[in-house]
Structures are given as C-alpha cells and as structure tokens.
Structure 1
Amino acid sequence: MTLYRQLLLWMLVVLFLLTSAVFAIQFNTTKNYLIEQQSTELNNVVSSVGFALSPYIKAKDFIAAESVINATFDSGYYSQVQLTLLDSKKEILRQYPQRIDNIPDWFQSIIHIEAITQTTTLTSGWLQLANLTVTSSPIPAYIQLWNATVQLVLGFISCLLLTAIILSLVLNKVLRPLKQIQKSAQEIAQNHFTDPLPTPHTRELIDLVAAFNSMKTQLQQHFEQQAQEADMLRIRAYQDPVSGLANRSYLMTNIKSWLLDKPTGGIILLKSDAIEDSYQQSGYESGDQLVLKLAKRLKELSADDVTIARLNQSEFILIAPNASEDDLLETGRSMLYMTSVLNSDPLGIAPLQAAVGIVVCSATLTITALLAHADNALNKARQQVKEPIALLDSNKNKTIPAMGKQQWKTLVDEAIANNLLHFTFQKAVDRNNNVIHKEMFTYIKQGQHHFNAGHFLSAIEKLNEGTKFDCYVINTIFNQLIEKTKSVPIAINITQSSINNTGFIRWLNNKLKSHPKMKQQVLFELPEICFIKNIDNASLLCEIIHQNGFKFGIDNYGHNFSSAGYLNKLRPNYVKLDFAYTSQLDDQIKTDVLESITRSANNLSILTIASRVETIEQKERLSQLKIQGFQGYVTDHLMGEE
C-alpha cells in the first residue's frame, strides 16, 4: 500500500472514530431529552386534566367527564387512560393502539424507550373523588429519535465524504514531491535521467530533494563520462582523427569480413590530388581543412551497409556490398564531383584534380589483390581525359545476372504478387545457449537463381520502395504467428525508406494496435544509419513501437562512428555490434574499445549481441567481455539449422 493511501486511510479511520463518538453522544443526548420531555408532558397533562375532571366527577356528570378524557387523550401520545371512582368503584378505561409504520423493527429492538405511567388522586377540598392513571406512548419518542438519527447519519456521512475529498486533495498536494522522487527513482533504476526535481515548499523535503537531485546529476555525469570514454576509445581505435571517417584498420577489418562471405558489389578508390598538393605546398593545417571539406560531402553517401574510410593522406575508399556496376559507377561519379569543393575555381571550368578507380569484387580476391586492382583502376582512370573514372571487373564467373535498380524493383514486385518471397531464420542465443530471438532473412527464388535480400534491398532502398516490401513481410509473419500460441520471438528488419515514410509509420501503428498478442512474438530491427541521418523519423517510429508494447533493436551498432547518446533517449531492447568490433579480439586496444562499448550499453540495461560469431572460442572470449548475446555460424552449429 502506498504512503498516500496509508495516510489517507488512517486519517479517515481517526475521523470515523471521532465522528462515531460525537454521534453516540448526540444520540444519547437526544434520547434522554425525549424521555424527559415525555415525563414532563405526562405530568402536565395529568395535572391539567385532574383540575378539569374534578367538577364533573363531584357533580356525578360522567358523560362530561368522559368527553374531557376523550378530547384530551386522543392525540396519540398516550397508550392508556384509566379513571376509577372511589365511592362507586366505577371505572372509565381508554386504550389507544400502538402502531409504528415508518420505523424499522431493528431500531425498536436495539433502542428501548419505556412507557411512563403516572397516577394522581382527584379531590374536591378534602374529599377524594377518583384515581386517574395515565400511561404515555413511546411511539412519538421513537419517531423523533429515528428522524434525528437519520439526520445525524446523513450529516455525518456527508461530512466524512467531504472531509475525505479535502484530505485526498491536500495529501496529494503535500506528497507530490515524494511521488516525483519515487517516479524519478524508478527512472534512475532504469538508467533514464530526466530534469532535476523542483524544490518543494515543505521544509523537511527541501533537503531530501536537493540531495536526490545532486545524486541524480552525479550518476548522469558518470554514465555520460562512460559513454564519452567509449566514444573516445572507439575513435582512437577505428576512426581517422582528421576526417572523422573510418581509418585503415577499420577498413581492413570490414574488407576481410566482406571477402569471406561470397562478396558481391565492389569498392571505389578516390584519390584527390588537390589534398596531396595542399599538404606538400601549404602544410598540414591547410591539407586537413580540405580533408574535412571532402569528408563532410562523402558522409552523404553513407548507408547501413556502406563503409567509407580514409586509406591514406589523400585516398579514400568506399565499400559498397551488393551494388551493381551501374550503382558503383553512379556512386563513383558522385565521389569524383564531390572533390569540386576543393577547387578554388569560382567559374567551375578548371579540371577536377582527382581520379576514381572502381573494382567489382569476386570471391577469389584477397585484400592485397583487391587493393592492387583498385590502384590499377585508379591509374587507368588518370588516362581518361574527359572523365577520370575507370571500372575494373574482377568477377569473371557471375552467378547473379547483372540487373539495374528498376529490374530489381520489378523482380521484388513480381515476388510479392506471386508469393515468391521465402524466409530463413538465424538464432541469437545467450551465454547458456538459450534462444533470445530469431532474425529473419528474406530471399527470392526464381528458376535456378537464388536472390538474397542483400542483392535487391539496396536497389529498392535507392528507389524508396522498401515500404511495400516491409508491409508484405510483416503481414506474412504476423499471419504465420497468429496460429502459434508459443514461439521464439522473430526479429523483422525494417528498411530505411520505410522508417522515413510517415504512411508506413501510421500503418504499422494500426497493425500493432490490432495485434497486441504479438508483443512477445515479434521484434523490430532498425539500421543504425537511420538514427544518424533521420533521427526524427526514427524516434517517431521507436515511440510508436514503445507505445504499443513492442520492442526493437539496432543493427550494425557502431558502424557509423556516431555518439552513443541516442541510446539513452530511445532505449532499444538490444544492439547488434558491428562485426569490426568483435573480430579482432587479440588486439588489446580494440578489446578495450569493445568492453567499453558493451559496458555503456549494459549500464542502460540494453542487451548487446555480437554478430558473425564463427567459433565457440570466439563466443567464450566475447562472453568474458560482457557480451550477452551471440549470433552467427556458431549458433547455427550449436542449435541446429532452422
């Protein structure tokens, strides 16, 4: 029971006891008054009737005497009148019916009012004429006492209710600072920090609220410092300090991971002669300024599966998995013409001091060979007078036909129309190999060709056509899960174009409201890039998911080198760490980075999941670094394929 209810209850109990005591006193006072009034009235009426009857009895006029008796005692206040003549023993007796219609029987049985009998002798001088005996009726006393009781009860109940309402309002106002402290304490327990509490007017609570605000500020600063330390370690280990892009170490880790997984797409190598000349002629400060200008433009090309890194002083690389040749050329041209911001040419007629080499990747390439091909493509691009860009295709045995964005869109639309989309699942498990959830992956099977989501998602994302695909997937999964009473939660990936579509957000809101039983069966996984490029839309979608009681996670966490500050605001259920953070566990610096990132998430009660965990040894090592979830080949091996 809350303090508010306890105080209110005890105050009402004390008030009820006081009211009951007042009621009892008032009731007894009223009862005694009515009994006394009954005796006084009886005494008065007997005396007055005696004087009125004496002349008639002396004159032996019994008819007149009887008339006086009937007129006097016919009011209902008396139950019996008896007149006995002393000389002849003649008797006049009148009895009146005793009926109470408006008083409950239980009241009469509990409250007992005795009838009063009074006898007097009528005389004439020294001569005794008759005896008059009158017995009162308790009915009028019962009626008055009952009416008084009803009025008292109604009055006291009204006072109790009014007092209870006033007490509740007063207590609510007085205890409001305590309720604010309680609410803030609950939020702090979840590592969620809000604005400082206002200073109350109660003297005893002023010091308490001040101490509480101070403690909350210190805790918030502690968590913020931990997050900043994690960001600083991450920047130091994986981020180029000048451009803010990924550094060479992070780049190599991503290329290695990409080449191990039957790669498609390619890399784009950009070399800026303007930056190189600036470093040689004007020094590092001038060169760094140009790097910052170009990096700011290059970041516009960032996406969830795209890695942009600074390879050396004047060279930049973009990894574009699953991109077609046309997409690579389009992106390469964008990177090339972004270097125009470095030219001090107001007329825009000077030639670009840059070149772009593009390599379409193949499964047989090594990192060394890939970078060598990129250098060859760059040298070839320098020979192109009109446009310094060249593409080198190292993939001679393509299993996936070359298709443009519109062709991929047509393929996806056809798959949706004909139900050609299929699903596979990969489990994420905890340290004890208990399944946390299953991530859903989509593929299209058309004839002999097998198209994974990575082949077509980037194309429909660029065309902002992901909403139709997401709606189909969500509807299909919901329909499948309706028939299952118990199942492992399924994580559904949401595309960036859907997150930026307000129509999709409204549709999803209605969908979640109409399926509240799916709260424990469905999770949503959002790419980290949407929290960087489209934070407002992403926050709105997260709020909709939270309001409907569903949960969500963040995929590729840490890929884009953004601050982890949005975690405290959005509160995802889990984050899946980018592979680059969990692959180099022998490097102490990078291990420290991983441990710091994990600690920051754990402090916010956010589950951290490592992706692409290939071996049991890697899983055990990650467990030692406080990673709580694991997903990859090792989970399929331990748990069995879906």
Structure 2
Amino acid sequence: MTLYRQLLIWMLVVFFALITSVFVIQFHTTRDFLLEQQSAEMDNAISAVGMALSPYLEADDKVSAESVINATFDGSFYSEVILEMLQDNDELKRTYPSAISGVPEWFRNAIVIQPITKSTTLTSGWMQLATLSVTSSPAHAYIQLWKATVQLVVGFLLTFLFGAVVLSIILSKVLRPLKSIQRRAREMSDNQFGQPLSVPRTRELSDVVLAFNSMSNQLKIHFEQQAQEADKLRIRAYQDPVSGLANRSYLMIQLGYWLSNPPEGGVALLKVDQITDCYAQEGYDAGDKFVQKLAARLKDLATDDYTIARLNQSEFMLIAPNITASELKMIGRSMLSMTSFDAAPVQAAVGLVMRREDDNITTILAQADNALMQARQQAEEPLALFDIVQPSAQGKLQSAMGKQQWKAVVEEAIANKQFKFNYQKAVDHEGAPLHQEVFAYIQKGNHRYSAGQFLGAIEQLNAGAQLDMHILEQLFGKLAANPELGPIAVNITQNSVNDTGFIRWLSNKMQSCQALSSRILFELPEICFIKNSDDAGLLCEIIHQNNFRFGIDNFGHNFSSIGYLNKFRPAYVKLDFAYTNQIDNQIKADVLASITRTANNLSITTIASRVETMSQQEKLAELMVRGFQGYVVDKMNSEKTV
C-alpha cells in the first residue's frame, strides 16, 4: 500500500471517529431535549387543566369537566388521561391511539422512549376533589428524533465526503515531491536520467530532492563517461581516428570471416590520389578534412552487411557479401562519384573483385591491387572488375539471377507458403536458453534458397516489409498453436523499420497477440539506429508500449557511439563478430569488456555469435558477455538430445 493511501486512510479514520463522536453527542442531546420538553409540556397541561376543572368539579358538573378534558388534551402528545373523582369514586378515562407514522420500526426498536405518567390532586381549598393522571405519547418524540437523526446523518455524510476530498487534495499536493522522488528512483534503477526535480518548499523533502538530483546527475555523468570510454577504446582498436571508418585490423577480421563462408559477393578497393596531393601540398589539417568529407559520403553506402574501411592514407576498401557483379559495379561507380568535390575532375580509381571459392586474404587483396592498377590505366572510366565465374552450382545460380528474378522467387514463395524455418539457440553463461533465433529459407522442390541469397535483392527493391509481414504472420501462428515454442527472435529488415505501413501492421498485430509478448523478440539491424534513428525510435516505442521486446543485431559494426543504448533500451545486443574474435589481444579484450560493462549496467544482455569452442566461451564469459550463440551451443544441444 502506498504512503499516500495509508496516510489518507488513517486521517479519514480519525476524521470519521471525530464526526461520529459529534454525531453521538448531538443525538443524545436531542433525545434528552425532547424528553425534557415532553415532561415540561405535561406539567403545563396538568396545571392548566387542573385550574379549569376545579369549578366544574365543585359543582359536580361532570359533562363540563369531560368537555374541558377533550378540548385540552391532543392525541398526538398524550396516550391516556384518567380523571378519578374522590367524592363518588367515579372515573373519567380517555385513551388516544399512539400512531407513529414515518419512523422505521428498527429505529423504534433501537431507540426506546418510555411514556411519562404524571398525576396531580385537584383541590378546592382544603377539600380534595379528584385525581388527574396523564400519560404522554412517545410518537411526537420519535418523529422529531427521527427527523433530527436523518438531518445529522446527511450532514455527517456530506461533511465526511467533503473532508475526504479536501484531505486527498491536500495530501496529494503535500506528497507530490515524494511521488516525483519515487518516480525518479524507479527511473534511476533503470539507469534513466531526466531533468532535475524541482525543489519543494518542505524542508525535509527539499533536502531529499537535492540529494536525489545530485545522485542522478553523478550517475548520468558516470554512464556517459563509461560509454565514452568504451567508444575511445573501440576507436583505438578498430576505428580509423581521422575518417571514423573501420581500420585495417577490423577489415582483416571481417575479410577472414567472409572468406570462411560460401563464395558470394566481392570487394571494392578505392584509391584517391587527391588525398595524397592534399597532404603533400596543403598539410595534415587540410588532408584530414578532405578525408573526413569523403568518409562522410562513403558512410552512405554502409549497411549491416557491408564493411567500409580505410586501409592507408589514400585507400579505402568495401566488403560486399551477397552481391552480384553488376551490383558491385554500381557501388564502384558510386564510390568514384563520391570522390569528386566542387566539380573537380576525378582523381581516383576503383578496383573491383568478385570472390572465388579458393580465395584467401592474400589472394583477394592481391587481386584488388591488380584491378586497381588496371583501373588507373583506363582513361574513360577508372574502374576495373575482376570476375571469374564461380565453379559451384550455387555461384552460377547467384550470378544468373538478378534482383527482379529474386523478387519473383520470394513473391511466389509467399503465395505458395514455401518458407521454412531453422532455429539456433542462444544460451546464457550457465547454459540456460535465452531464446532461439529464426532463420528463414525457401524450399522450392529440390532447391533450397537461404535468406542470404535473396535478402540483399529484396531490400534493394524495397520489398522487405512484405517479406517480414509474411514471416511474422507465420511465426505468430506457430507460437499460438504451440505453447512450448519460444521465446524466439526474428530478424526485421531495414526496409520494414522505415516503412510506416509495416509499423502500423506490427502495432495492430502486437495488440491482438498480447499473450505472446514474452515469447517473441524482434531483432533490428544496428544501421537503422544510425541512418534512420527517428523511424527506429518510433518502432521501438511501439514495441515497448505493447510490452514486447527487441534486440539489436551486428552491434558495433557501424562504429556509432554506444550511448544510444540508454535511449532505446533493447533487451539484448548481438555483438559484431570482430569484437569477440581476437580476445587474446589485451587491447581488444579491453574494448569488449568496456562495451559489455556499459550494456550490463543498463540491464542489456550482450550476446556473442559464432562461438566455436568452449575455451572461447569461457573467455567471453570472463569479459562479462552474458549470451552465446554458435557452433559450441549447437553442439551442446545435440549432446543433450542424444
């Protein structure tokens, strides 16, 4: 029970007791007054009747005496009158019916008013003539007491209600600073820090509010410094300090992982001679500014799949998985156009290489250098593409099918419900399951198409929302039909995050499926929080409002400040592979520890993907990584199943 409610209840109890005491006192006072009034009226009536009857009794005029009695006594005040004449022992008796109208029977049973009987002897000089006895009727007293009681009860209730309203308003106003402190304490426990609380006039509460404001400010500064520290360590380990792009070390990690997967996609190597000239002729400040301007343009090409890095002073490389040769060529032309400033002639060249199955880091870099040399010799367009046909059937299919063909395949799969799902578990450091990530694929006869094959083409054609709605519709149905399934995490495309129609659809879906809020999570690409933060913020707010949860995929891939975590508050972040790959390197281990510490302080679970060995998992756990996904988890699950 809240303090406000406790104080209000106890104050109302005391107020009720006081009013009840006043009510009881007033009730008894009214009753006693009515009884006294009844006694006084009887005395007056007996005295007046005695004086009027004496002459008639002396003359033994019984008829006149009876007339006086009938005229004097009213049935509403008296129940019985007896005149006993002493000379001849004759008796005159009048009885009046006691009808009490308008007074409930329970009230008459609860409040007993006894009739009053008074007698007097009528005399003439020294001679006693008669005895007069009068008994009162309690009807009038009951009626008056009942009216007074009703008035007291109505006044009591109105006063109590008015007092309750006034007390609640006063208490609410007095305790308003305390409620603000309570709300701020709850926000601080969730590591949310707003504007300082206004200082109340109450001395005790003002001291508490000042202390809370100070603590809130200190914690806010602490978390900001922690995020800045993580950013600085990350920049030092993986980011080029001038351009803000990835450095050579980060690029090598991404190249290694890309080359360990099926041969899809290519690389683009950009060399900008104007950078070298600028450094040589205008100095380092001018050269750095030129690099920063160019990097700002190159970042427009960034996605969660692409990696853009600065190799040296004037060379930049882009890794583009899941891409065709024609698409890679379009990216190369975009990179060339980005190097031209103020209508100056292009002083750059781009070498493009489509990956082969037997490529390694050395061969891919050597081919990129050769393609770049060839591009520099082409005067019309300084761009060259090395594309050797893939020997595998999958590679032939990838190169044969264009974006529109992939879109047709996906639309056909949606219409014919050909999408199937695989699940990969994510577990915590104790092996307990966190959730299962869903991977969709198309099964068309004997052909199986993974999401990596068609997703890039679908996103380029802005058809991701249609795909996501179909997959989510199926998953919501599976969860509703199978109570044991879940929680599951489903990836949302960048198209969907930027699509207001999809956001409305998902909002309605979540509202109609509130029972599934703890069994499905939405995994959003990190690039959305950097390029389209407003749309991402709107979607996250709607997800929070419906009590669902979301995570961030490829966290750290785009080298944005991790401070945005406190704003969007995801349930988990899936770390980019580069941060969990080379943890034997102390500098890179410090970077990971700093990132995980910041996330853990915000109650955000950090998940490492592609965990291959138990020793790697143990080292990641020591660096405060709280979730694991990859080969070692799948192996553990298969062993448990066996």
Query: 2:372 matched to 1:374?
Result: no
Distance 1:263 1:40 in 2: 118
Distance 2:443 2:378 in 1: 41
Structure 1 match to 2:410: 412
Distance 1:224 1:249 in 2: 27
Q: Which deviates further from its counterpart, 410-419 or 33-42?
A: 410-419
Structure 2 match to 1:588: 586
- Alignment match of 2:597 (pick from 580, 596, 599): 599
Distance 1:132 1:283 in 2: 134
Task: Give 1:284 shift.
Answer: 2.4
Structure 1 match to 2:430: 432
Structure 2 match to 1:256: 256
Structure 1 match to 2:304: 304
Task: Give 1:32 shift.
Answer: 1.2
Structure 2 match to 1:442: 440
Give the gaps of 5 or more residues in structure 2.
none
Task: Give 1:394 shift.
Answer: 4.2
Distance 2:248 2:197 in 1: 47
- Alignment match of 1:458 (pick from 444, 447, 456): 456
SS in 1 for 2:220: helix
Distance 1:451 1:3 in 2: 61
Pairing 1:83-122 to 2, within 5 Å after superposition? 83-122=83-122
1:579/1:610 contact within 8 Å kept: yes
- Alignment match of 1:362 (pick from 350, 356, 363): 356
Structure 1 match to 2:268: 268
One-letter amino acid of the structure 2 residue matched with residue 382 of structure 1:
R
2:75/2:96 contact within 8 Å kept: no
One-letter amino acid of the structure 2 residue matched with residue 38 of structure 1:
Q
Q: Scaled by the length of structure 2, what TM-score is found?
A: 0.97
Task: Give 1:282 shift.
Answer: 3.5
Pairing 1:145-544 to 2, within 5 Å after superposition? 145-341=145-341, 346=343, 348=344, 350=345, 352-400=346-394, 401=397, 402=399, 403-544=401-542
Q: Which deviates further from its counterpart, 197-206 or 292-301?
A: 197-206
Task: Give 1:27 shift.
Answer: 1.3
SS in 2 for 1:245: coil
1:518-560 per-position Cα deviation (integer Å, ceiling 9, x unaligned): 1011110000000000000000000111111100000000000
1:31-72 per-position Cα deviation (integer Å, ceiling 9, x unaligned): 111111111000000011111112222222212211221222
Structure 2 match to 1:568: 566
1:84/1:130 contact within 8 Å kept: yes
Task: Give 1:74 shift.
Answer: 3.1
1:557/1:577 contact within 8 Å kept: yes
One-letter amino acid of the structure 2 residue matched with residue 611 of structure 1:
S
Distance 1:157 1:431 in 2: 63
Distance 1:538 1:263 in 2: 32
Distance 2:75 2:199 in 1: 71
Task: Give 1:185 shift.
Answer: 0.1
Distance 2:443 2:484 in 1: 29
Distance 1:40 1:512 in 2: 80
Q: Which deviates further from its counterpart, 395-404 or 604-613?
A: 395-404
Structure 1 match to 2:75: 75
Cα gap change, 1:263 to 1:603, in 2 (>3 Å): farther
1:158-213 per-position Cα deviation (integer Å, ceiling 9, x unaligned): 10110000100111011000000000000100111111101112222222111110
1:436/1:488 contact within 8 Å kept: no
1:478-520 per-position Cα deviation (integer Å, ceiling 9, x unaligned): 1111112232211111111111111111111111111111101
2:77/2:137 contact within 8 Å kept: yes
Structure 1 match to 2:31: 31
Task: Give 1:395 shift.
Answer: 5.0
One-letter amino acid of the structure 2 residue matched with residue 359 of structure 1:
V
Distance 2:607 2:508 in 1: 30
Distance 1:154 1:431 in 2: 67
Q: Which deviates further from its counterpart, 97-106 or 403-412?
A: 97-106
SS in 2 for 1:332: helix
- Alignment match of 2:621 (pick from 617, 620, 623): 623
1:435/1:488 contact within 8 Å kept: no
Give the gaps of 5 or more residues in structure 1.
none
Root-mean-square deviation (CA), in Å?
1.5
One-letter amino acid of the structure 2 residue matched with residue 420 of structure 1:
Q
For these two proteins, the number of residue pairs brought into alignment is 636
Distance 1:495 1:433 in 2: 29
1:326/1:404 contact within 8 Å kept: no
One-letter amino acid of the structure 1 residue matched with residue 284 of structure 2:
Y
2:75/2:98 contact within 8 Å kept: no
SS in 1 for 2:154: helix
Q: Which deviates further from its counterpart, 90-99 or 149-158?
A: 90-99
2:479/2:486 contact within 8 Å kept: no
Q: Scaled by the length of structure 1, what TM-score is found?
A: 0.97
Distance 2:529 2:315 in 1: 28
Task: Give 1:220 shift.
Answer: 0.6
Distance 1:439 1:2 in 2: 42
Distance 1:43 1:363 in 2: 127
Distance 1:424 1:585 in 2: 29
Task: Give 1:448 shift.
Answer: 4.2
Distance 1:136 1:625 in 2: 97
Task: Give 1:324 shift.
Answer: 0.9
2:490/2:520 contact within 8 Å kept: yes
Distance 1:554 1:469 in 2: 19
1:568-615 per-position Cα deviation (integer Å, ceiling 9, x unaligned): 111101000000000001100000000000000001011111111111
Q: Which deviates further from its counterpart, 389-398 or 80-89?
A: 389-398
2:425/2:434 contact within 8 Å kept: yes
2:119/2:131 contact within 8 Å kept: yes
Distance 1:13 1:57 in 2: 64
Task: Give 1:462 shift.
Answer: 1.2
SS in 1 for 2:94: strand
SS in 2 for 1:439: strand
Q: Which deviates further from its counterpart, 481-490 or 422-431?
A: 481-490
Distance 2:46 2:506 in 1: 92
One-letter amino acid of the structure 2 residue matched with residue 617 of structure 1:
S
2:428/2:627 contact within 8 Å kept: yes
Structure 1 match to 2:611: 613
1:206-246 per-position Cα deviation (integer Å, ceiling 9, x unaligned): 22111110111001101110011001100111000111100
Identity of aligned residues (%): 60
SS in 2 for 1:411: helix
Distance 1:580 1:252 in 2: 9
One-letter amino acid of the structure 2 residue matched with residue 543 of structure 1:
E
SS in 2 for 1:14: helix
One-letter amino acid of the structure 2 residue matched with residue 32 of structure 1:
D
SS in 2 for 1:75: coil
SS in 1 for 2:517: helix
Q: Which deviates further from its counterpart, 73-82 or 213-222?
A: 73-82
